[in-house]
């Protein structure tokens, strides 16, 4: 369990995060959303201990991640948006570095790498950007970590690889793992992320499961325009409308439409999900 209490962080005079509080539990793939500059990457680096909170605290199973204890590091994996092209074959890199994670499974690494259609004997610094990202994702999943912090993991992947990434995240991660994925590519990941965390203006604007979102809002994919729609987007065969769910009827949440609804009605949405 990760517990964040009144977390704050600034870059000089610029406050990025302020009074952030939430809990992250196993069995969830959290989608961390927000516009550029709201602190998504900063939050991930705080969670994995690369930065120190300037106020508040982060507790990971009773430990402070900034202490960088081996027992903490061996249970987590942080994948930055830009990954390093080491001068080594992928298989050799995995053998040499997997020892730092007690649960590392070399065979699992080889299996995922093969599914991504990346050669294990290829040197990492000779790979394309997409191949390199897939090699790192394969290594991360083979570590069998308890906590994953992934920053824009689908950037650089082609369409088939994005589908394979979604499959790998559901197939090769443990039900006990807590996974946080920061992304702007909502459509790439909306079928696997739940709950949704939206950062805005130094704070958490929304932290809600798909079920909670569906209870509060209705996503209408028909053609009849609603005067009470909070958000409307024209599509090639109709439109997507989002309005308050007053009947309790279920609908399929469109994460991109939800994000746009949140930003069009911040105070209303905040009051609906933080009662």
Encode pLDDT of 184-223 as tens digits: 888 889 899 999 999 987 789 999 999 999 999 999 998 8
Residue 185: per-residue pLDDT: 85
CATH 3.40.50.300 domain span(s) along the chain = 2-207
Q: Does pTM top 0.75 for this prediction?
A: yes
Beta bridge partners of 207: 197
Separation CA 32–CA 53 (nearest Å): 19
pLDDT one-digit tens code per residue, 255-266: 999 999 999 999
Beta bridge partners of 240: 233
CATH for 2-207 is: 3.40.50.300
End-to-end CA distance of the chain: 24
Q: How confident is the model at residue 275 (pLDDT cuts 50, 70, 90)?
A: low
Residue 160: per-residue pLDDT: 93
**3-class state of residue 102 by DSSP:** coil
Separation CA 47–CA 45 (nearest Å): 5
């Amino acid at each position: 369990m990760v517990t964040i209490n009144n977390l704050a962080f600034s870059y000089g005079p610029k406050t990025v995060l302020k009074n952030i509080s939430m809990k992250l539990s196993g069995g969830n793939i959290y989608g961390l959303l927000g516009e550029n500059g709201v602190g998504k990457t900063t939050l991930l680096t705080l969670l994995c201990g690369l930065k120190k909170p300037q106020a508040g605290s982060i507790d990971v199973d009773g430990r402070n991640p900034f202490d960088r204890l081996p027992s903490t590091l061996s249970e987590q994996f942080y994948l930055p948006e830009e990954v390093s092209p080491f001068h080594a074959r992928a298989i050799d890199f995995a053998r040499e570095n997997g020892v730092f994670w007690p649960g590392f499974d070399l065979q699992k690494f080889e299996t995922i790498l093969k599914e991504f259609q990346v050669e294990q004997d290829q040197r990492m610094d000779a790979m394309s950007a997409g191949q390199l990202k897939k090699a790192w994702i394969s290594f991360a999943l083979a570590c069998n970590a308890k906590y994953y912090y992934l920053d824009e993991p689908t950037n650089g992947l082609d369409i088939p690889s994005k589908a394979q990434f979604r499959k790998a995240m559901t197939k090769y991660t443990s039900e006990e793992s807590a996974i946080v994925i920061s992304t702007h590519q909502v459509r790439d990941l909306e079928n696997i992320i739940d709950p949704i965390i939206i950062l805005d203006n130094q704070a958490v604007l929304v932290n809600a499961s798909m079920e909670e979102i569906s209870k509060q809002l209705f996503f209408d994919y028909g053609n009849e325009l609603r005067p009470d729609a909070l958000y409307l987007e024209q599509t090639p065969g109709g439109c997507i409308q989002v309005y308050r769910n007053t009947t309790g009827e279920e609908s399929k949440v469109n994460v991109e439409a939800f994000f746009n609804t949140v930003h069009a009605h911040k105070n209303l949405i905040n009051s609906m999900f933080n009662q």
